[in-house]
Amino acid sequence: MGEVHTGMILARWRRLRANGAERELAGRALVLGLVTLSVSLAMNLYVPAFPKIAADLASDVHIIQFSVGSYLAALAIGQNIYGPLSDRYGRKWPLGAGLAIYILASIGTASAGSAEALIVWRFVQGLGACAAMVIPRAMVRDLYTGVQAARVISLVLLVVSVAPLMAPMLGSALSAILPWNALFWFMATAGALSLILVLMRLPETYQTERRGAGGYGAILQRYRALLADRRFVAQIALLAFAQAGYFTFVSGSPQVFLQVHGLSTWQYSMVFAVTAVAWVASAQFVPTLMARIGGDRLATIALSIGAVAALLLLATLALGAGGLGTLIVALAVMFGTVGITVPAVTVVALHAHGEAAGTATALIGTLNFAIGAAASSLLGAIAEDGTELPMVAMMTACAVIAFALSFPAFRGLPEAHKR
């Protein structure tokens, strides 16, 4: 599975490099993807080691699951710091500062001596990581719009998708031969390499003459203008609920696949690989499909398919039918639809807000991770019934809500915003 994904990336970049006009686009997408990848590993690299961490810290797996929620909560909060800062002072130095915090917090997490300390350090780690979540998207909006922006975002997703594909397998391998702390030392090293890449290879994309006024008043004004746009609010809420199903999966899948279905850590990592390939493969069709039918119609179709797949899976499991194969196939379909929804809706949402792209992407990320943190934390509180139903029910609710939000999100959308 990993060889297939690597071949997909290499083939895509060979095609792009053959066209000299697109070489720069591919290079920028690769750098931005690697920067985001370095912190994306922190989401689930350590998930296969949950039982080992719980045993070493004299805790319980359900308590360790809260470290996922604390990380997501920090991502929700911190993006409101880096987004406005990047609109005022440029993109590069806030990104570097966030990566430095991420590196230090990764070291702190590796040194945690209790579950409580682990949860706190993961929160700080998330505060640093969110810089690499929000600022690269603002950089894409600085440079591109429409279908071209969708192409860059889909390429970035192609690189970032290595995280859910590689992280569980790498985490399983490292935790099998090394203490769980080694996983966080690995995160610190990846963050350090990313910081070097930012300092040496990434230019400033938001020039001084384009930057907004400083001060809290100006920042609040940008937030007020964005939140007054009801269509934009519906679009970012749609994105949040569409991706909340993934965060629910990250939080609940160790119990479902390792304990309920009794998979080995290697088999569990293969489940992650299947869902990651479905996500990234579908995202590569977005630019072409957007150019043909528009981002709004494309997202609506994808969301409807995802909601139907989730409802059918929930009904099947509730009736005691289906099994592991049914679960994996349905998850692949659901994440494939999310892979289409995210780049399409992101491009549509940012089209009208280029001069406040940092703040706009911060709002997207804030709501995204706030809903994700709430969903994963709620799952941790209700997932003790020993079945996969709580996880699937939560994912189904998120999928249905996301589809329902497509109506206010795209009603009356100007034609120029669709492509």
The full set of domain ranges for the chain reads 2-417
- Residue 22: predicted pLDDT: 60
Task: Considering only residues 232 and 205, tell me which one the structure prediction assigns the higher pLDDT.
Answer: 232
Spatial contact of 303 and 402, defined as CB atoms under 8 Å apart: yes
Integer Cα distance of 136 and 11 in angstroms: 24
**Alpha-carbon dihedral angle through residues 206, 209, 215, 220, given to the nearest 10 degrees:** -70
Q: Residue 25: is its pLDDT beyond 70?
A: no
* Single pTM value for the model: 0.71
pLDDT tier at 313, thresholds 50, 70, 90: very high
pLDDT, one tens digit per residue, over 117-156 is 999 999 999 999 988 888 887 787 777 766 677 677 767 7
Please state which CATH class domain 2-417 belongs to. mainly alpha
Q: Specify the DSSP element, H or E, that contains 329.
A: helix 324-350
- Residue 120: predicted pLDDT: 94
Backbone angles phi, psi at 416, to 5 degrees: -65, -20
pLDDT tier at 408, thresholds 50, 70, 90: very high
- Residue 330: predicted pLDDT: 93
Q: Residue 247: is its pLDDT beyond 70?
A: yes
Q: Residue range 311-324: average pLDDT? A: 88
| Residue 259 CB partners (closer than 8 Å, separation 6+) | 386
- Residue 215: predicted pLDDT: 57
